[in-house]
Structure formats: C-alpha cells, structure tokens
A = this chain, B = another copy of it.
Amino acid sequence: RKPYRIAVIAGDGIGKEVVPEGLRVLEMAAKKHGVAVHFDQFDFASWDYYEKHGEMMPEDWKEKIGKHDAIYFGAVGWPAKIPDHISLWGSLIKFRREFDQYVNLRPVRLMPGVPSPLANRKPGDIDFWVVRENTEGEYSSVGGRMFPGTEREFVIQETIMTRTGVDRILKFAFDLAQSRPKKHLTSATKSNGISITMPYWDERVEAMAKAYPKVKWDKYHIDILTANFVLHPDWFDVVVGSNLFGDILSDLGPACTGTIGIAPSGNINPEGNFPSVFEPVHGSAPDIAGQGIANPIGMIWSGAMMLEHLGEKPAAAAIVTAIERTLGERTLRTRDLGGNADTTACGKAVAEMV
C-alpha cells in the first residue's frame, strides 16, 4: 500500500524534545515491520508560530493536515507567554472539535521497573483504559457573566450532553470492554449531586448496557471513584467518563502508575472521517523545557497507539515491548523515574530494543 502520511506537530516546550525520539522509534519499528510511513512536519500550534504570525495556526490548517492518516503531536501551551484560551483552544481543543475526535483514550498500566507511588502494587496489578468523551459536556463554553464588576456579579456555564455525544462514547467504551478478557466496564457519574446531566448519563449507560449482555458494568460517583483508583486500582478494566471526569481520571490513573511522563493518549475519530491525534499526556512542561531531560516514553508510547489505530498491530506491539524492556532493565531512565539518562539516550535505548 501507499505510505501512511503522518502530520507531525512538535508544538511547545518539551514537545520539541520528545517528538524526535518518538519519530526515531517509529521509524525503526516501521522499518523492521515493513510499514511505509511518510512524515510531514508542521511548525504551527506553537508559541513560536504565534509570535511570528499572531495566531496559533494558519487559516488553511484543515487543508494542511486534514487529509493525513494521523497527527503525531508533542505538546502545546506556554501559559507564561500566551494564555491557555488562545493556545489550547486555538489548537488542541480545535482539533478535537473540528476533527470530531470524540474519543480520548488513555491506558493506565503499571510498567515493569517503574516505582508506583502506591504501596505494594506490581506490574500486572494495574492495567486498564480510561475512555473520555472529548467534544462536549463540561467543556461546552456556552454561558456568560452578569452584572460584571459589581457585588451582584455571577457567571454561568452550561454542561451540555447530547444523545449522540453520550451514546457514541458509551458504544466505544462498551465495545472496548467486550473485546477484553475481563469484559468489565465502570461508568463515572455524580448523579447524586449533579442532578440533571449526570442522571441522563446514567440513563444512557443503562440503555447501552442492554446491547452488551456479556459486559459486566458498574458505576461509581466520581468522588469515591478517585478514591478507588488509589485504594483498589486492580478493580478496573475499562472506565468511561464525561469530558471533565475522563480528564481527571486519565491524569490520576497515570499518577497511580508512577509518572505522567510515560502516559500516552489518543484523540480518536473512530469512523476515520478525520485524522486522529496521538500525544503524550504530559504537557509542554515549561519548567524543564530546553534541558533535554524530559521523559520521551509518553511520546513513544503514543506512537504505538497511533500504529495500532492504523491497524499496524505487530509494529505497535514491538514498540510497547521495547518500552517495557527498557523500563524493566532500569539501566536507562530519565530523572522523573529516578535515573539520570537524558531524553535522547532514552529514545535511542527504546529504538534499539524495537
């Protein structure tokens, strides 16, 4: 077949440092498994681009990257230089909405060689997926402010959940649960306190569950669910949540497995009408940017998720195995994991293992 065309956007901060390592590993895996890939690099969706052009992306950004097979994305945002509502909403969140990437998918897996902040947990104990709704819900941006600047001032913001939006994410999550050995789905709710949208979410979960008789499902309120991530991370298999709840759980989960530096994510349009974005969970990390010490594993693992999404399972699996071996041997680890390897050394180590 024709080579996959991947749009590469390094973005800001450590995004620029980890992307080359991700590409190094991707190229190696592609070569070994006979996968043809072509990478196109883009400089927009970054502070540098904004500084030059006064906007985050060119007007024709959709033409530029909308026909690619996937987008390989580093990180965006540099709050000290450019407000989040311009940088994030002008790139990352725009991709999610305009490319209809309604699934945000993140693995929570305790890897060999990575010390868990939780006592007495070993690799194998923690291994689940967080499935997050990625386009609506609490991130609606509908609302406003009344009586500004006065004592009577107030703000309102809508959480909006549509039948389409809720059902499609639940379907994705139930499908995923059904494909796994445990076939267990957990829904994050808060219907005891958030009295309109969350009972609706529960109602749709119940309706969807009827189509998946083989999947065991349960639900927890988000407060006790976060507690259970810490107390009983072995309970979970597939956890599905709204935009906000999924966001929280997919940072908390990776934290429970040791470091956010190794966690990958996919912003997926399952129908393939638009390219999906694969990016590490960590952000641009201005505090350590420019030092070459960032952990590239989150970026590299995101590459594996991208290959998996493209249907290239053996190449994807090879990368995950290489990550596990590199981490497990404990010889080449970045600072966040207690080692002193730099970004490039870590990337090369994984590439050699592929």
Contact = CB atoms under 8 A, between A and B. Distances in A.
A143 B156 contact: no
Decide if the interface of chain A is mainly helix, strand, loop or mixed: mixed
A113 interface: no
Interface in A63-108: 77, 84-85, 88-89, 93
Given A116-B119, A260-B227, A153 B163 contact: yes
A145 B200 contact: yes
A37 interface: no
A223 B252 contact: yes
Interface in A114-169: 115-120, 138-139, 141, 143-145, 150-164
Contacts of A138: 159, 193-194
A36 interface: no
A324 interface: no
A197 B117 contact: no
A98 B116 CA distance: 44
Contacts of A333: none
A151 B164 contact: yes
Contacts of A310: none
Contacts of A145: 196, 200
Given A117-B119, A223-B247, A195 B159 contact: no
A151 B163 contact: yes
A275 B114 CA distance: 49
A244 B84 CA distance: 22
A248 B248 contact: yes
Nearest to A138: B194
A55 interface: no
A294 interface: no
A200 B254 CA distance: 29
Given A226-B226, A252-B223, A231 B117 contact: yes
Nearest to A152: B163
A195 B164 CA distance: 23
A149 to B, nearest CB: 9
A190 B118 contact: no
Nearest to A230: B255
Most chain B beta-carbon neighbours within 10 Å: one of A162, A226, A228, A231: A226
A194 B248 contact: no
A104 to B, nearest CB: 12
Contacts of A93: 193
A224 B285 CA distance: 12
Interface of A: 77, 84-85, 88-89, 93, 115-120, 138-139, 141, 143-145, 150-164, 190-197, 199-200, 222-224, 226-228, 230-231, 243-244, 247-248, 250-252, 254-256, 260
8 contacts: A84-B191, A118-B119, A143-B197, A156-B161, A157-B194, A157-B196, A223-B252, A230-B230
The 5 A-B pairs of least Cβ separation, nearest first, read A227-B255, A223-B251, A157-B196, A84-B192, A153-B163
